Structure 1
Amino acid sequence: MKCYIYIYSPLSSKKLLTYYPFIFSHMDTWFTITVSLCLIFLLRVLLSLLQKSSTTKINNPFPPGPTHIPIITPIIWLTKSVSQIEAILKNLHTKYGPIVTLRIGSRPSIYINDRSLAHQILIQNGSVFSDRPITLPSEKILTSNQHNINSCSYGTTWRILRRNLIAEMLHPSRVKSFAQTRKWVLDVLLKRLKSDIKSSASIKVVDHFQHAMSLLFVFMCFGQRVDDEILNNIEITERTLALSLKRFVVLNFWPRITKFLFRKRWEELLKVRNNLEMALVPLIRARKEAMQSGLCNDDNNNPRAYVDTLLDLKLPNEGQRNLDEGEMVTLCSEFLNAGI
């Protein structure tokens, strides 16, 4: 491409003419390459989506739903909030019936709004629909690729994790072993309440109960009494994680695109996970060192903690391997959230 640039000299009204063929020939080349690559990428995505949608219609017919336009429809859904999607779903159920198919992300989602149909699916045909779906991108990070009880696919790993929790922590004999711990936590609660009564006219009781329950479950999980600084750090980290889950939902729609469109939110997700590991990994390592040195005796004064059971656990369907630190962080976080 040949281009002329007209430059006006401030010392003269005469128009000066300069010619830069070399620079603009290179600019033209890079522009052509960039546009061509973008067009190739868009055409490839469009063709693959059209091929998938046509194959799906022939082999696996879905319930009715709104028209799906590749690329355009997912982008429209990305602009909607969770509350807006819920309102749209109500209108779609009115139009299409109790079962509606939406293609919000890369995979179709079926929404059911009928009690009898839900009973048929979950109860009468539970063996067909009982398994968990493949983990979504944001959940994959937060659940260590589905290595916790709440999200793990039904199978050997799920049964082992669930059996371990029930037998080692929820069994009545195990609950009784923490009687001394509960007495200690109750004493701490009463002391904090009495101190607050003397220092202020009103008391926010829920904060004191929250603190007491956090002390109890942190001890049950890691087998040690922690100071208020460590406890507050764990509480803040877990609360931040719980409150941020809705913000990360959008990252599951077309992850290849949302990683670029919502790059800061992906970084926020990784930061939340990193903060969780920074809060819990030191406690896991400290308990591991105590076990290796023989300081962990299973008695009323030092009952077996949840992390002790995780350190001894092996996954037979994954080569009899032990859980890694990330997976133990996920399971401990699940334990703390469920209890507190």
Structure 2
Amino acid sequence: MISLSDKVADSPMDFSFSFSSSPLSQYYHLFFTLLAFLISGLIFLLTRKAKSKKPNLPPGPPGWPIVGNLFQVVRSGKPFFQYVTELQAEYGPIFTLKMGTRTLVVLTDPKLVHKALIENGAVFASRPRENPTRNIFSSNKFTVNAAVFGPEWRSLRRNMVQNMLSSTRLKEFRGVRTRAMDRFIERLRAEAKAEDGVVWVLKNARFAVFCILVTMCFGIEMDEKTVEKMDQLMKSILITLDPRIDDFLPILSPFFSKERKQALKIRAEQIDFIFPFIEQRKRALDNPGSDNSATSFSYLDTLFDLKVEGRDSPPSKEELVTLCSEFLNGGTDTTGTAIEWGIGQLIANPAIQDKIYEEIRSVIGHGNDRKIDEKDVEKMPYLEAVVKELLRKHPPTPFSLTHAVTEATTLAGYDIPTDVNVDIFVSGISNDPKIWSDPEKFDPTRFLAGGEGDVASGEIKMMPFGVGRRICPGLNMATVHIHLMLARMVQEFEWSAYPPGTELDFTGKVEFTVVMKNTLRAVIKRRV
């Protein structure tokens, strides 16, 4: 979550003072003694007042003054989700972590999540405050994911879901996905030919998804060099947004002026690079037939004259760049990561890979060499079970996006103030042995009819895309991409480990999403 050097983490600040025995120093000594007495008295009075108003938060590990549990997390040397897993065993399904000036309330139980996000969805539907200097990439929270609960968020989400991500609208981009999949397969073939049959999985999967999203967003198909440049820019933004110590201890912000300048520089590069494509699309809409657009409709088209509740003007130049960037970033890493874990599991479980291939052949016919398409995928229940198990075992992120309450409330008998972060431990739920039998095993059959994953409506046993009012708006699009990509990859190639015969390491690490610790390379063999 945060990375600090051992030197910073292990070296306490020395605030000791020493005085000589001169008369002048004795006055100083008296002055500072009186000052310390006054400060101590003030702290005592403030503490008594604070204690009288102290909320009844869920239990949690004792922390240090000012920093709370922050340095305990850092010094543990463990990924934050692993640290939370251990706390869950000790403190139960709801607990508190003090992280500097931020207070985190962590939920690890699906019934509590249902109570909060479904039964009291409107109350738990907002987002927490952030360090203002970190809001430049969200145009002060002017995005679907970051906006606080209210009319602005409703306008942005309604526009994205109804005008871009509905089932009907997604079908209109079927041709875009087909062309991108063809390019994807050709890239894998070319790389395998040049590298003795070995390919990088995540890199190629990310690029394929990004190509789809760029076309959906701007209505134009870009050459590979331009797409790669835009993809690198999006990655640099995500790296810039990695948590820093001053996010939790704002008093340290003056020490991060260099990082703030770098963020402003990247923001300027983002606007300078993306806005010309926005202008190009605007010219095409104003002058039909003047531009060789790839699609007749794009997400950007819905934004030019977007009416946002509470505002008199459409989105600004900077806000258009922000909304387009959100669309691109939101669907790229999550899908690419899922494909990497998915192919890893198919390599580790060749019988599952064979079964998917058999299902593909049964759907398109053994004598038919056509490429499998989205209509075929809809007839593949085993592939659907594999994808569900993939999302259970390897949710894109260990936590859902942080929630905040719109008004002070209670949950499980504890107070939930408006200034706390409510974090849902997604991977803790989907890998909980009290919820799932043998959760460490990758077993798609649990999601076939009658299996333990075939749950009653409304019951929560996994939530890779969140639940409730802030559920990921791109849920349908992401699952379409994952199903189609896995089907095409298995239809075209037989996947095996690299180096041959090695056992895959399924340890994860957080890089915006949870990726494989050892980036997956695989041997592919073209199917006859």
Q: TM-score, normalised by structure 1?
A: 0.69
Go from structure 1 to structure 2 and tell me whether the alpha carbon gap of 1:231 and 1:267 turns closer, same or farther (over 3 Å shift): same
Contact 2:219–2:281 at 8 Å: present in 1 too?
A: yes
Q: 2:147 aligns with which of 140, 148, 152?
A: 152
| 1:284 alignment counterpart | 278
| 1:3 alignment counterpart | none
Contact 1:149–1:161 at 8 Å: present in 2 too?
A: yes
| 1:315 alignment counterpart | 308
* Equivalent AA in structure 2 for residue 164 of structure 1: N
Note if 1:221 corresponds to 2:213: no
Secondary structure at the counterpart of residue 164 of structure 2: helix
Secondary structure at the counterpart of residue 126 of structure 1: coil
Secondary structure at the counterpart of residue 108 of structure 1: strand
Partners of 1:98 and 1:325 lie apart in 2 by: 44
Go from structure 1 to structure 2 and tell me whether the alpha carbon gap of 1:78 and 1:117 turns closer, same or farther (over 3 Å shift): closer
Q: 2:321 aligns with which of 315, 321, 329?
A: 329
Note if 1:303 corresponds to 2:299: no
Offset at 1:218?
Answer: 0.8
Secondary structure at the counterpart of residue 123 of structure 2: helix
| 1:19 alignment counterpart | none
Offset at 1:233?
Answer: 1.0
For 1:81-131, what per-residue CA distance to the aligned partner results, in whole angstroms no more than 9, with x for missing partners?
A: 884766665666666655433332324332344444334333333333232
Secondary structure at the counterpart of residue 122 of structure 2: helix
User: What is the 5 A alignment of 1:241-256?
Assistant: 241-245=237-241, 247-255=242-250
Go from structure 1 to structure 2 and tell me whether the alpha carbon gap of 1:105 and 1:54 turns closer, same or farther (over 3 Å shift): farther
- Structure 1 residue runs of 5 or longer lacking an equivalent are 1-31
| 1:11 alignment counterpart | none
Contact 2:308–2:314 at 8 Å: present in 1 too?
A: yes
Go from structure 1 to structure 2 and tell me whether the alpha carbon gap of 1:222 and 1:91 turns closer, same or farther (over 3 Å shift): closer
Larger relative CO (CA 8 A, sep 6+): 1 or 2?
2
Contact 2:303–2:320 at 8 Å: present in 1 too?
A: yes
Contact 1:138–1:251 at 8 Å: present in 2 too?
A: no
Go from structure 1 to structure 2 and tell me whether the alpha carbon gap of 1:331 and 1:64 turns closer, same or farther (over 3 Å shift): same
| 2:493 alignment counterpart | none
Offset at 1:252?
Answer: 1.4
Offset at 1:323?
Answer: 0.9
Partners of 2:213 and 2:303 lie apart in 1 by: 16
Q: More deviation in 51-60 or 143-152?
A: 51-60
Partners of 1:49 and 1:296 lie apart in 2 by: 73
Partners of 1:85 and 1:302 lie apart in 2 by: 42
* Equivalent AA in structure 1 for residue 257 of structure 2: R
Identical pairs, percent: 31
Partners of 1:199 and 1:88 lie apart in 2 by: 42
Partners of 2:44 and 2:184 lie apart in 1 by: 59
| 2:356 alignment counterpart | none
Contact 2:93–2:107 at 8 Å: present in 1 too?
A: yes
- Structure 2 residue runs of 5 or longer lacking an equivalent are 1-27, 333-528
Go from structure 1 to structure 2 and tell me whether the alpha carbon gap of 1:289 and 1:132 turns closer, same or farther (over 3 Å shift): same
| 2:137 alignment counterpart | 142
Partners of 1:103 and 1:95 lie apart in 2 by: 16
Partners of 1:152 and 1:48 lie apart in 2 by: 36
Partners of 1:310 and 1:160 lie apart in 2 by: 11
Offset at 1:270?
Answer: 3.3
User: What is the 5 A alignment of 1:149-228?
Assistant: 149-189=144-184, 191-193=186-188, 195-196=190-191, 199-204=194-199, 206=201, 207-228=203-224
* Equivalent AA in structure 2 for residue 235 of structure 1: D
Offset at 1:151?
Answer: 1.8
* Equivalent AA in structure 2 for residue 336 of structure 1: L
* Equivalent AA in structure 2 for residue 124 of structure 1: E
Secondary structure at the counterpart of residue 128 of structure 2: coil
Secondary structure at the counterpart of residue 109 of structure 1: strand
* Equivalent AA in structure 1 for residue 321 of structure 2: V
| 1:10 alignment counterpart | none
Secondary structure at the counterpart of residue 214 of structure 1: helix
Offset at 1:240?
Answer: 3.0
Go from structure 1 to structure 2 and tell me whether the alpha carbon gap of 1:284 and 1:52 turns closer, same or farther (over 3 Å shift): farther
Go from structure 1 to structure 2 and tell me whether the alpha carbon gap of 1:80 and 1:193 turns closer, same or farther (over 3 Å shift): closer
Contact 1:121–1:129 at 8 Å: present in 2 too?
A: yes
Larger Rg: 1
| 2:99 alignment counterpart | 104
Partners of 2:80 and 2:48 lie apart in 1 by: 22
Partners of 1:293 and 1:97 lie apart in 2 by: 61
Go from structure 1 to structure 2 and tell me whether the alpha carbon gap of 1:227 and 1:109 turns closer, same or farther (over 3 Å shift): same
Note if 1:266 corresponds to 2:237: no
For 1:33-88, what per-residue CA distance to the aligned partner results, in whole angstroms no more than 9, with x for missing partners?
A: xxx9xx99xx7xx9699848834642634334455665465885696588476666
Partners of 1:112 and 1:218 lie apart in 2 by: 35
| 2:115 alignment counterpart | 120
